[in-house]
Structure 1
């Protein structure tokens, strides 16, 4: 299989992670009960293969030290080899857990001593002395290499030390000393661990950390497919082994510890860990040996990253980062930096938490069964996907203006090469004309009803290109000027727009763009637009009024972004079909207004998935149909009714919390408790969107609900989201043909 493994004897002892069982320093594969029953020896390989298997899928786990590769491998053992189910197997991890706990406490205490940081009380100082005496006399000689338990009294000592206020502050605020990231977990569990009858749990084993010094291999089956995973150490001294493993690999999973952005490298104490990971990733993706190997990026330790962002700004690592120190924007920025360092055309990125078994199960299925991934390609080559091929049918549902039609237009752009010709784009002229003209007319008439006058005086202070404003105009005359242009716009709307432009692809005259731009700049109008929660105007109003001078031009042709921003009621049933690799996707979009929902049930038959769209930005708006019901509350009610339907029992439901861009902006002006009175968190994007997601999950009766935070007008982002959607649906299709 690999030339450098030829010296490994068939009698090599099967070893655990971090140990060696052969003279070559290569650990034999960890093989569980699912695989053992089918093992045969292939004469061409020193490693066992599975009888009748069509092909091995070989996956190499790479990344810097402490990035979570070995934890991921443990998860595969839990999920596919039923590992860590016996007491004996779990007890074998006691030495590692003992070491993680005791070494962490010792390191923190000694570093505090070096930096002259005193513990809070005399009592804690006594506990410190007792701990260090135990460490020197008992731990070093007896507990390092044995499965012996730590005495119970030491659990009380460690718990007392951990409660010390100064120690907690020192641990939380200091980022330049080397301590394992699981230190908090084990110190908080000290009393449970320091017990004569302690047996490590699966979570303890996943949290435990030990340097991978050997090459660790694991094989497991998914029906008649063999997955062979190889884990190799990520420290600088171990990377010389990497290149010898590149031969015949199908896929590389590159792990990055997100939580390392504020830490220095253990090897030199000077290099930022995230910067080191970026450098390694760049060289790896540039390697000619990996030209035809699938590459996937795992941005790992999202749980620790989320916590660290509360204390350390991301610009500790990335000085040019100017966004908010919140999880969503921060992780997207990190992902963009790695993508910028990738020379491969295709890079699939997953945000992961290696210690969360359910999450890793989903991520692995998405990774292994991706249409462009190793197994997906093999199934296509063998004809097993096409042989069982049925259309993957997706139904787009949600309230009005939730972004379903925009998503469908994105699919047209991405998969059908739509909107490439000027004639095709010009079809959208009537809709864009309507969005622009109707929005401004609605705002002006609503202001008139509410007896709000245009400001004019403030507007004069804003530099303007309107040639129509007379030189030397007085403030007293300005109201008359604005009234004249407001009337001119409304007259044009009544006499020119309605009869001629509403239903034809005719351009709006240039001079009207200047009038609209001038009116839009008015301070009172802007204030009315932003503050009126009962104003029924499309959410694209701001976009088109800011682009009025470009849109109102005789040579104007709508751009793709203009088309994506445009909005009109979906009154019928719209279908779109496209191919992605060997699969045919058929999407159906139906209107979301109350009057249109009676059509929904007729479309449930034979659907594979429902994508339910929610406009996050409507949490402060009332429903267009009755002007009394909050739009978000209406979406919650509809979603609850939908997931209760027996017709959708076997349909995958995915929740798209859409319009994240507008939601982020609105939170600056409107508190989320306008919709959710019980919400007590900060009015920041991260906590707010997580809370909204939790409200929808609480309303869902299905066991599994896949949630995506989306911005339907962002083509690149939607492309990545749809790949994640296709992961899930392809996995279900493979389940149906008996490959799971």
Structure 2
């Protein structure tokens, strides 16, 4: 009887030992898999000056490689879109005096009253504010001011929201993916997004591009697989928001030069994403010359010539002869071109 009990206890102990071994094996396999996953993870560092389109790039990744935007995220953008609609329209109205423009006489008092509205507390609960903006937007003077938006620091996408005002001011308005892609909210701090491309884990690190944010960049330099430097092609005739004495593309060019030749990135793959190509094309065809930024540009309305001129300006800055610089061209909401960045190898 006693021997039977001892055998049973011994069998139970052996069984528990085997279970423990199996459990430890599974844990070790899990740790190994996580370690291998970490080793093959691609870390992409997203750099560029403020308003170059980096945040739009990240939002496109959210759409293409993740589940898109949840309702809470969309509601945040709803507020931002509606507030920006008022804010940027006010900037246009105020900028008309600077540009020597005037409203039609019947709209002058309406414009004055509109400037008294505080965009931080504006609500579209009634149609009065919406109708005011619609009337002002039809005024030839405001249309002319928008044509000179680069001088007034008004986003190119503002006309999109003005044309969509009936839809985006509805009480139950929910932003579309395109609405969100067009919305400009400056990046502050560091944002990290994890996602998979063809079962390969990627980590994209987005840091603010404004001058005050760039001191944070160096903390993200470790283990970078690839740099994606975003250039706003259309901003060659615009000045920095932070310093209106400095041309935006000149600033971007100098920043890329210091980034591409940084010792931390000597063996790091580098891609340049030339963003806002559609707006760039429109400007070149309208005769907005690259000479506003580059004295050595020979006048032409040929988009391909202008495109190659800018590309050469940037790629020639990367002096590391052992590293290839990959060039991509995109408009703000072109998700197909974004996909090409992840096939760089």
Q: Where on the TM-score scale, by shorter chain, does this alignment land: which range?
A: 0.7 to 0.9
1:77 aligns with 2:62: yes
Residue 368 of structure 1: aligned partner: 342
The change in CA–CA distance for 1:349 and 1:241 in structure 2 (over 3 A counts) is same
Instruction: Give deviations 1:522-567, integer Å, cap 9, x for gaps.
Output: xxxxxxxxxxxxxxxxxxxxxxxxxxxxxxxxxxxxxxxxxxxxxx
Residue 355 of structure 1: aligned partner: 333
Structure 2 distance, partners of 1:333, 1:69, is 22
Residue 91 of structure 2: aligned partner: 107
Q: CA deviation at 1:115?
A: 4.6
Q: Is the 8 A contact 2:326 2:344 kept in 1?
A: no
Q: CA deviation at 1:51?
A: 8.8
Larger Rg: 1
Residue 14 of structure 2: aligned partner: none
The change in CA–CA distance for 1:349 and 1:270 in structure 2 (over 3 A counts) is same
1:95 aligns with 2:88: no
Instruction: Give deviations 1:50-90, integer Å, cap 9, x for gaps.
Output: 99676211001000000011100000001111112x44432
**Unaligned stretches of 5+ residues in structure 2:** 1-29
Structure 2 distance, partners of 1:351, 1:198, is 32
Q: Is the 8 A contact 1:300 1:354 kept in 2?
A: yes
1:334 aligns with 2:310: yes
Q: CA deviation at 1:339?
A: 1.4
Residue 167 of structure 2: aligned partner: 192
Q: CA deviation at 1:114?
A: 4.2
Q: CA deviation at 1:92?
A: 2.0
TM-score by length of 2: 0.84
Q: Is the 8 A contact 1:353 1:360 kept in 2?
A: no
Residue 314 of structure 1: aligned partner: 290
Instruction: Give deviations 1:691-740, integer Å, cap 9, x for gaps.
Output: xxxxxxxxxxxxxxxxxxxxxxxxxxxxxxxxxxxxxxxxxxxxxxxxxx
Instruction: Give deviations 1:472-492, integer Å, cap 9, x for gaps.
Output: xxxxxxxxxxxxxxxxxxxxx
The change in CA–CA distance for 1:151 and 1:358 in structure 2 (over 3 A counts) is farther
Residue 216 of structure 2: aligned partner: 241
What secondary structure sits across from 2:150 in the alignment? coil
Mapping 1:222-621, distance limit 5 Å? 222-309=197-284, 310-345=286-321, 346-361=324-339, 363=340, 367-371=341-345
Structure 2 distance, partners of 1:169, 1:330, is 26
1:55 aligns with 2:40: yes
The change in CA–CA distance for 1:360 and 1:73 in structure 2 (over 3 A counts) is same
Structure 1 distance, partners of 2:183, 2:261, is 33
**Unaligned stretches of 5+ residues in structure 1:** 1-41, 44-48, 372-740
Mapping 1:665-684, distance limit 5 Å? none
Structure 2 distance, partners of 1:339, 1:52, is 33
Structure 2 distance, partners of 1:98, 1:174, is 19
Residue 12 of structure 2: aligned partner: none
Structure 1 distance, partners of 2:110, 2:36, is 59
Q: Is the 8 A contact 1:60 1:253 kept in 2?
A: yes
Structure 1 distance, partners of 2:271, 2:141, is 41
Structure 1 distance, partners of 2:190, 2:266, is 23
Structure 1 distance, partners of 2:204, 2:235, is 25
Q: Is the 8 A contact 2:92 2:154 kept in 1?
A: yes
The change in CA–CA distance for 1:241 and 1:53 in structure 2 (over 3 A counts) is closer
The change in CA–CA distance for 1:299 and 1:150 in structure 2 (over 3 A counts) is farther
* Paired residues, number: 312
What secondary structure sits across from 1:154 in the alignment? helix
Structure 2 distance, partners of 1:238, 1:171, is 29
Instruction: Give deviations 1:210-229, integer Å, cap 9, x for gaps.
Output: 11011000001235321100
Structure 2 distance, partners of 1:234, 1:355, is 20
Q: Is the 8 A contact 1:155 1:192 kept in 2?
A: no
Q: Is the 8 A contact 1:255 1:297 kept in 2?
A: yes
> Which aligned runs of 4 or more in structure 1 are off by greater than 6 angstroms?
none
TM-score by length of 1: 0.40
What secondary structure sits across from 1:58 in the alignment? strand
Instruction: Give deviations 1:575-628, integer Å, cap 9, x for gaps.
Output: xxxxxxxxxxxxxxxxxxxxxxxxxxxxxxxxxxxxxxxxxxxxxxxxxxxxxx
What secondary structure sits across from 1:171 in the alignment? helix
Residue 721 of structure 1: aligned partner: none
Q: Which has the higher contact order (CA 8 A, sep 6+)?
A: 2
Q: CA RMSD in A?
A: 2.3
Residue 106 of structure 2: aligned partner: 123
Q: Is the 8 A contact 1:314 1:325 kept in 2?
A: no
Q: CA deviation at 1:151?
A: 3.8
Q: Is the 8 A contact 1:68 1:300 kept in 2?
A: yes
Q: Is the 8 A contact 1:262 1:316 kept in 2?
A: yes
Instruction: Give deviations 1:623-671, integer Å, cap 9, x for gaps.
Output: xxxxxxxxxxxxxxxxxxxxxxxxxxxxxxxxxxxxxxxxxxxxxxxxx
The change in CA–CA distance for 1:150 and 1:66 in structure 2 (over 3 A counts) is farther
Q: Is the 8 A contact 2:124 2:130 kept in 1?
A: no
Q: Is the 8 A contact 1:217 1:229 kept in 2?
A: yes
